[in-house]
């Protein structure tokens, strides 16, 4: 998983950037807002998700981690792919999306290009319990969810696990942490590896 890129901006297009990362030019799809926020020759840092298909590897970049998490969560809705999920991020900020889901506001959701009334209804149905208006982050059924939960969930989902499996694995990792780890948890890569070990051992929970 590639969760972050930092490099010099080589090219800026309306819906993508080319970043020089260690001498390699990487094409990153992004929203127009993200593209307009950087300039050629400057250094940029993006939260990223890598989408793997049979015939392609596509990087999607975001100005914030919250945007990336929402992108990954929206993609889990049946019938919504990466391009439409990116349109959601471009059209609505995190709180706007969360409020629309919480309020069953289909009109607001259909303002996103590519989403009709049926698609908006599916989003409300499937995301109702997974976005909260305060932050737009995925919710947890347990009180005191760890601050790193969203990043680990997004990482697992980008690797092909579904939301339920990702939630379960995060819960298992959280139970393993010592009191010290709970306040200053290990590096994200270590947390992700631990979650994957649980999923590999048990299969689909």
Q: Is the pTM of this model over 0.75?
A: no
Q: What are 5's two structure tokens? A: 């890129």
Residues 149-199: tens digit of each pLDDT: 777 777 777 666 776 777 788 888 877 875 555 555 567 778 888 888 887
What's the average model confidence in pLDDT over 20-34? Answer: 93
Element (H, E) at 53: strand 43-53
Domain boundaries, the chain: 4-62, 65-127, 149-202
Four-way CATH pick for 65-127: 1.10.580.10, 1.10.150.120, 1.10.150.20, 1.10.3720.10: 1.10.150.20
HSE (CB half, 13 Å, CA atoms) of 87?
Answer: 13
d(CA 123, CA 142): 23
- The closest alpha carbon to 2, from 37, 52, 63, belongs to 52
Four-way CATH pick for 149-202: 3.30.750, 2.40.128, 1.10.8, 1.10.287: 1.10.8
Per-residue pLDDT, 137: 45
Contact 84, 76 (CB under 8 A): no
- The closest alpha carbon to 98, from 73, 65, 61, belongs to 73
CATH architecture assignment, domain 4-62: Beta Barrel (2.40)
Structure confidence at residue 139 as a pLDDT band (50, 70, 90): very low
Residues 43-69: tens digit of each pLDDT: 999 999 988 888 888 999 999 888 888
Per-residue pLDDT, 202: 58
């Amino acid at each position: 998983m590639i969760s972050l890129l930092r490099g010099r901006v080589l090219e800026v297009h309306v819906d993508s950037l080319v970043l020089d990362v260690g001498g390699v030019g990487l094409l990153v799809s992004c929203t127009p807002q993200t593209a307009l926020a950087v300039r050629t020759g400057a250094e940029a840092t993006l939260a990223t998700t890598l989408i793997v298909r049979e015939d392609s590897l596509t990087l999607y970049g975001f100005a914030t981690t919250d945007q990336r998490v929402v992108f990954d969560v929206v993609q889990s809705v049946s019938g919504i792919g990466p391009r439409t999920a990116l349109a959601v991020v471009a059209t609505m900020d995190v709180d706007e999306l969360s409020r629309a889901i919480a309020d069953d506001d289909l009109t607001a959701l259909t303002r996103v290009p590519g989403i009709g009334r049926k698609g908006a209804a599916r989003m409300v149905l499937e995301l109702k319990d997974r976005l909260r208006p305060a932050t737009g982050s995925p919710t947890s059924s347990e009180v005191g969810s760890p601050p790193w939960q969203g990043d680990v969930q997004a990482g697992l989902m980008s690797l092909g696990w579904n939301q339920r499996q990702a939630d379960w694995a995060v819960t298992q990792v959280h139970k393993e942490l010592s009191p010290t780890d709970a306040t200053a948890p290990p590096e994200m890569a270590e947390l992700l590896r631990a979650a994957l070990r649980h999923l590999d051992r048990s299969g689909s929970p």
